[in-house]
């Protein structure tokens, strides 16, 4: 059994630094360092990649927040200033992935960058960042699951419990389940698939979406605060759609032959035949 020590990490007078913000900052920092290292290995410009990371993070955070607000508009319409209160939680990962991914693709096309290669460089960092960032839910006492008596049960304070479960003290730590799943996805992408799929740009990104969607679908089934799409859980609907689309696209991508010498970098991706062989 474990419980949150509280949402505030440091308080100096009226200034409160929250764990949620610190963990997001740590996720961005570690993810950026990892992506820049991978860019150097692939002989891509790490400074140009940093521009892409900044854009993806900023647009992704806005997209994650707007996605969450859209599904809770009945509440936020009464208190519109709370839309800016991201320190309270309320970032929907799917919204961030969609907005951030589109921003990278559009920016890359405008600057004639190797878009698919850049996405493949970034997705292991995205999985690692998600594994770190999910712990913000722990400190905020949110995104937990149904009541449980398992040894790893999570204590939730009374004012964070939904009214119909007010008599229960312990719940499934779904933030932990998803964090561990994302950590496993990161390990698989980075150590098992990264080099094997390097000559098929976009394949690693598709593998990430498929793998993440499996875990998110399962974990979402435990949660009691899901965003709803009618009678369905929005995250599960999105996970099924992403998995099917990614699995089909990945199967097609893997069946395409690799051009000798330069690798198949995909249409509109950049690169060139004069690029030195990768080691």
DSSP string, 196-215: TTTTSTTHHHHHHHHHHHHH
DSSP per-residue letters across 107-176: HHHHHT--HHHHHHHHHHHHHHHHHHHTHHHHHHT-S-BSB--STT-EE--GGGS-GGGTT--EE--HHH
Q: Closest Cα to residue 176, out of 147, 143, 146?
A: 143
**Bridge partners of residue 2, in order along the sequence:** 154
How many residues would you count in the chain? Answer: 279
Give bridge partners of residue 130 from the DSSP assignment. none
For the whole model, what pTM was predicted? 0.89
Q: Give the count of beta carbons closer than 10 Å to the beta carbon of residue 16.
A: 13
CA dist list (Å): 252 to 90, 202, 208, 238: 36, 11, 16, 21
CB 118 within 8 A of CB 267: no
Is the distance from CB of 179 to CB of 139 less than 8 angstroms?
A: no
Q: What is the pLDDT of residue 88?
A: 74
Residue 12, SS3 per DSSP:
strand
CA angle 54, 27, 210 (to 5 degrees): 90
Residue 269, pLDDT score:
42
DSSP SS3 for 85? coil
At 61, is the secondary structure helix, strand, or coil? helix
Q: The tokens 């779904």 sit on which residue?
A: 174
| pLDDT tens across the length of the chain (279 residues) | 889 999 999 999 989 999 999 999 999 999 999 999 999 999 999 999 999 999 999 999 999 999 999 999 988 998 898 998 887 778 899 999 999 999 999 999 999 999 999 999 999 999 999 999 999 999 999 999 999 999 999 999 999 999 999 999 999 999 999 999 999 999 999 999 999 999 999 999 999 999 999 999 999 999 999 999 989 999 999 999 999 999 999 999 999 877 544 444 444 444 443 444 343
- Residue entry with tokens 């690169």: 271
Other beta carbons within 10 angstroms of residue 226's beta carbon come to 16
The pLDDT value given to residue 260: 45
In this predicted structure, what is the pLDDT of residue 85?
86
pLDDT for 87: 73
Q: Residue 277: what pLDDT?
A: 38
Nearest Cα neighbor of 151 from 178, 172, 135 is: 172
Please give the pLDDT value at position 40: 97
- Write down the residue that tokens 């997001």 correspond to: 24
- CB atoms < 10 A from the CB of 240, how many? 14
């Amino acid at each position: 059994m474990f419980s949150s020590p509280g949402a505030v990490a440091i308080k100096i007078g009226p200034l409160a630094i929250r764990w949620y913000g610190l963990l997001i900052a740590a996720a961005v920092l570690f993810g950026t360092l990892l992506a820049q290292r991978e860019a150097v290995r692939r002989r891509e410009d790490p400074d140009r990649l940093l521009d892409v990371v900044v854009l993806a993070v900023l647009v992704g955070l806005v997209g994650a927040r707007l996605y969450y607000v859209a599904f809770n508009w009945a509440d936020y319409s009464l208190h519109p200033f709370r839309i800016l209160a991201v320190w309270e939680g309320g970032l929907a990962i799917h919204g961030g992935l969609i907005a951030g991914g589109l921003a990278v693709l559009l920016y890359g096309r405008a600057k004639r960058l190797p878009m698919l290669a850049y996405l493949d460089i970034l997705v292991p960092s995205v999985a690692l960042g998600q594994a770190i960032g999910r712990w913000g839910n722990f400190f905020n006492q949110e995104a937990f699951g149904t009541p449980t008596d398992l040894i790893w049960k999570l204590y939730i304070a009374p004012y964070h419990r939904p009214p119909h479960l007010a008599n229960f003290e312990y719940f499934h730590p779904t933030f932990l389940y998803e964090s561990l799943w994302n950590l496993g996805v990161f390990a698989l992408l980075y150590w098992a698939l990264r080099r094997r799929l390097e000559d098929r740009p976009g394949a690693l990104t598709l593998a990430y979406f498929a793998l993440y969607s499996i875990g998110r679908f399962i974990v979402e089934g435990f949660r009691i605060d899901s965003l709803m799409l009618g009678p369905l859980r929005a995250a599960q609907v999105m996970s099924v759609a992403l998995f099917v689309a990614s699995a089909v696209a990945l199967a097609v991508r893997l069946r395409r032959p690799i051009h000798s010498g330069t690798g198949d970098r995909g249409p509109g991706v950049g690169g060139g035949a004069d690029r030195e062989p990768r080691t």
